[in-house]
């Protein structure tokens, strides 16, 4: 019988290998092993935040009777499934309220997961050791006949999503009135800092969402001094956020993500 620590280690190993490869558009920049209240879900992923929660209690209950070999195979599939959701184009409102849409999203996501696992058997075996990919065979044959139907999101959509949901706190209104929206993070502990600028909407060159998301979602961890909106040019919104000690953290996030991007391209 495996202990929580064992499951945690297996899932971490899977995440280290698969994150950014199953989901090149939006990496998981933060995951945890929290208990999810009143839920039997083994894991929950959020395509708007790029975060995943693994429900260790439910996982150990569900997998308790399996052999270690089967647990390894199951966890690879589970982790790949959650990562696949991060890149998936999902209308979260519909997902919550429309059961037919909900199951379509799940079915196409699972097809994409199996498709990925089956096409990358050698790579996964090489990185994560032997696992019983035979259990995917039937599912894969079905996909070959039906197609996955999975819709991958775009970099543009991901950036607009983070702008909508977090930066402007305004789902459909104010954001639409501007031709372009940008976010500038200033480090107040460094007077010479010109600020780190992120384009959130409608500029020709986009930064990777994989750099923007971790910073945006971790802004609360910085001591925020103030947010100012200014309109220098009509139709353009620039949001200035002033924070202490941003430099070190932002640099380390960018370093980590860029290394991961290089890694996944080299594969
Ligand atoms: Zn799912």
CA of 259 to the centre of ligand 1 (A): 28
pLDDT at 226: 43
Intra-chain end-to-end CA distance of the chain, in Å: 35
Tell me what the pLDDT averaged over the chain comes to.
77
Q: Poorest-confidence range of 29-38, 97-106, 200-209, 210-219? A: 200-209
Structure-model confidence comparison of residues 235 and 54, the more confident one: 54
Taking phi over 0 as left and psi of -120 to 50 as alpha, with beta for the rest, 235 belongs to left
Tell me the domain boundaries of the chain.
Answer: 4-146, 155-266
CA 47, CA 209: separation in Å to the nearest integer?
12
Strand 180-187 to 30-32 pairing: unpaired
CA 142, CA 127: separation in Å to the nearest integer?
27
Determine the average pLDDT of the residues in 26-53. Answer: 86
Determine the average pLDDT of the residues in 46-57. Answer: 89
Determine the average pLDDT of the residues in 237-255. Answer: 59
CA of 138 to the centre of ligand 1 (A): 19
Alpha helices in the chain (DSSP H): 4-18, 56-63, 68-87, 92-97, 99-119, 121-128, 134-146, 155-162, 209-217, 246-266
Strand 30-32 to 51-54 pairing: parallel
CA of 206 to the centre of ligand 1 (A): 28
CA 177, CA 130: separation in Å to the nearest integer?
53
CA of 85 to the centre of ligand 1 (A): 7
CA of 250 to the centre of ligand 1 (A): 31
Provide the 3-class DSSP secondary structure of residue 158.
Answer: helix
CA of 64 to the centre of ligand 1 (A): 21
CA 220, CA 217: separation in Å to the nearest integer?
7
Indicate if the pLDDT at residue 95 is higher than 90: yes
Q: Poorest-confidence range of 67-76, 136-145, 208-217, 220-229? A: 220-229
Would you say 22 and 87 are in contact if contact means Cβ atoms under 8 Å apart? yes
Angle between helices 121-128 and 99-119 (to 10 degrees): 80
60 — pLDDT class (breaks 50, 70, 90): very high
pLDDT, tens digit, for every residue of 129-157?
Answer: 877 777 677 778 888 788 889 999 988 78
Rounded to two decimals, what is the model's pTM? 0.77
**CB neighbour class for 215 (10 Å; exposed up to 12, middle 13-18, buried from 19):** buried
CA 261, CA 214: separation in Å to the nearest integer?
14
pLDDT at 138: 78
Q: Poorest-confidence range of 186-200, 208-222, 249-263? A: 249-263
CA of 219 to the centre of ligand 1 (A): 28
CA of 113 to the centre of ligand 1 (A): 10
Q: Give the whole-number percent of the chain exceeding pLDDT 70.
A: 66
Q: Give the whole-number percent of the chain exceeding pLDDT 90.
A: 33
pLDDT at 209: 74
256 — pLDDT class (breaks 50, 70, 90): low
Would you say 28 and 84 are in contact if contact means Cβ atoms under 8 Å apart? no
């Amino acid at each position: 019988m495996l202990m929580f620590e064992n499951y945690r280690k297996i899932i971490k190993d899977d995440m280290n290998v698969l994150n950014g490869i199953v989901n090149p558009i939006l990496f998981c920049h933060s995951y945890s092993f929290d208990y999810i209240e009143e839920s039997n879900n083994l894991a929950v992923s959020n395509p708007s935040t790029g975060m995943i929660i693994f429900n260790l209690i439910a996982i150990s209950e569900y997998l308790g009777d399996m052999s270690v070999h089967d647990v390894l195979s199951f966890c690879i599939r589970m982790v790949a499934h959650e990562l696949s959701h991060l890149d998936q184009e999902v209308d979260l409102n519909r997902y919550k309220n429309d059961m037919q849409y909900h199951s379509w999203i799940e079915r196409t996501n699972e097809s994409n997961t199996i498709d990925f696992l089956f096409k990358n058997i050698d790579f996964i075996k090489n990185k994560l050791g032997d696992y019983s990919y035979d259990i995917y065979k039937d599912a894969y044959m079905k996909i070959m006949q039906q197609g996955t139907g999975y819709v991958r999101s775009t970099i543009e959509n991901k950036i607009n999503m983070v702008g909508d949901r977090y930066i402007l706190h305004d789902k459909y209104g104010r954001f639409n009135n501007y031709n372009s929206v940008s976010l500038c993070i200033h480090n107040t502990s460094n007077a010479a800092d010109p600020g780190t600028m992120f384009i959130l909407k409608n500029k020709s060159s986009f930064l990777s969402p994989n750099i923007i998301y971790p910073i945006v979602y971790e802004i609360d961890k910085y001591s925020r001094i103030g947010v100012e909106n200014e309109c220098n040019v009509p139709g353009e919104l620039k949001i200035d956020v002033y924070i202490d000690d941003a430099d070190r953290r932002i640099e380390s996030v960018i370093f980590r993500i860029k290394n991961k991007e290089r890694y996944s391209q080299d594969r």
